[in-house]
Structure 1
């Protein structure tokens, strides 16, 4: 079973994080700064609570980001926003539930690069079509992956890593949080563009993979930046490059893989909000406007940054084009890697 890279927390840590952010339970009207609904808007959408289906467990990044946005929407609309966690099958269980929901704007879906760009090529039997069954609203956040290595390894740059791999074909092992995860496919994309041979070592989640990387039992890893950051700051892992098109504000001194010699390389764990296909255009517009407004709110930006996420917003049309390009890109990577999940 695939485990996506966007769930970092578990158990007591999850509950502590949610309590600290004030995001437990249903999201009623809160003190977060937002434009209050006017009397004239009372007859318009929405007139009842909104549900956001999150296809992963409570406490992970997808869940926390959805709750932050939901908290703002609750304040904006004067309606409760309920988070419905439906985890399993790499996000496909929640995706299926959202795809089958009424197309009236009252059920939204927090999708990811996994649910809307990777899974269709990875899973043999998809219960929904990520493009035909959803109406994109906007991306909400990007979480960079970070290429890191153990200090005992001889390479410190992308160039040195590629040179070492070519001189020692098949000897570099790269860890991941699981077969078909964004962390795994970030490594596969690197292999393809650098034209090198590396061995993939899948784990059941990011934590055990990082543990073996710290113990120098594997050589490198394309880990989520928030997960790797503490080890980088502690000096127990060496950062080589970030996987995004631009440098991370949290590690501005670390170059991107693209600027380090592989200009076509870009791999990002992204998160976006969707409605079921067929949702009326005026409701799509209302939701997009409200979510984009939320993503410009300083409180929202601060909370996203605390999760290692970069705020991102756009039009539904722009998001739709992005999804199509991501779907095509990752289909090629999955096919070349041979990864699959029953």
Structure 2
């Protein structure tokens, strides 16, 4: 069995795939190969699975980018996220964290919004590029709050981090583990808010968006397992059952907490409904940014 990771051999997607692959191999009694196929925002790896044989031996470790953002972002996407895949199982998700440089002197998200409204375009945020998930998270924040904050795209996280800490940009929007590992440092970066309804165990002092009065700010990064369209239902159901059991295990729960991730058991049909909602969510956000990739 092969699980295609649409990113290089590092980062949260690869780490999750390898952890699940090891546990699946034990439960299924067969080897599980992790095949990293990065490039083009994950679409190269996703396309390879869309074109693979639907015999139950090839799966995609799908991401928000490959299944929800890509259809709105790419003019010429070489796969159909709805028609070319069978949803197998929702895996994990992580909230988005609003991080400001400490020297800005902002204590909470309401002070941030007030400053951004008082002085439009004074503030700037960094992202990993046009159409990236953190770019769209920032644009959603701007839309909800009615603020103008300048976008500064980067090609790598190291210069983004240094520019935040040294005051050349003012804030970033990052996943929980990225925020913790790369941006939050005493006197350097401060977490103001996490997206969604609940607080993060990694940032217990940062309110949730719901607590902060921004309930609609529910953008998160998520991962799921997909199979090529037409994969037999018994295979899909068996894989769903095994993955739900793995994700409920104490060992996996410990790993998820450490990585700022959470899970929710879904049937393949429930996962399909979730995917439809996510695709619809990103269309207006991408349209508002005018971000398009040919």
Alpha-carbon distance in structure 1 between the residues aligned to 2:36 and 2:9: 7
The corresponding residue for 2:149 is 198
Which residue, out of 260, 265, 273, partners 1:321? 273
Q: Is the 8 A contact 1:170 1:197 kept in 2?
A: yes
Quote how far apart the aligned CAs of 1:155 are: 2.1
The corresponding residue for 1:129 is 80
The corresponding residue for 1:73 is 24
Quote how far apart the aligned CAs of 1:234 are: 3.3
* Offset from partner CA, 1:47-85 (integer Å, 9 cap, x none): xxx100110001211011011111111000100000011
Q: Is the 8 A contact 2:58 2:228 kept in 1?
A: yes
Flag as ranges the 4+ runs of structure 1 deviating above 6 A.
none
Alpha-carbon distance in structure 1 between the residues aligned to 2:259 and 2:156: 18
Secondary structure of 1:91's match? helix
The corresponding residue for 1:27 is none
Q: Is the 8 A contact 1:144 1:242 kept in 2?
A: yes
Quote how far apart the aligned CAs of 1:233 are: 4.9
TM-score by length of structure 1 reads 0.83
- Residues 94 and 277 of structure 1, relative CA distance in 2, 3 Å threshold: same
* Offset from partner CA, 1:98-125 (integer Å, 9 cap, x none): 0011112110100000001001111121
Quote how far apart the aligned CAs of 1:223 are: 1.6
Alpha-carbon distance in structure 1 between the residues aligned to 2:158 and 2:77: 28
Give the number of aligned pairs: 293
Which of structures 1 and 2 has the bigger CA Rg?
Answer: 1
Q: Is the 8 A contact 1:142 1:310 kept in 2?
A: yes
Alpha-carbon distance in structure 1 between the residues aligned to 2:56 and 2:86: 10
Listed as ranges, the gaps of 5+ residues in structure 2 are none
Alpha-carbon distance in structure 1 between the residues aligned to 2:283 and 2:160: 25
Q: Which moved more, 1:143-152 or 1:64-73?
A: 143-152
Q: Is the 8 A contact 1:65 1:304 kept in 2?
A: no
Alpha-carbon distance in structure 2 between the residues aligned to 1:233 and 1:208: 16
Listed as ranges, the gaps of 5+ residues in structure 1 are 1-49
Alpha-carbon distance in structure 2 between the residues aligned to 1:181 and 1:243: 17
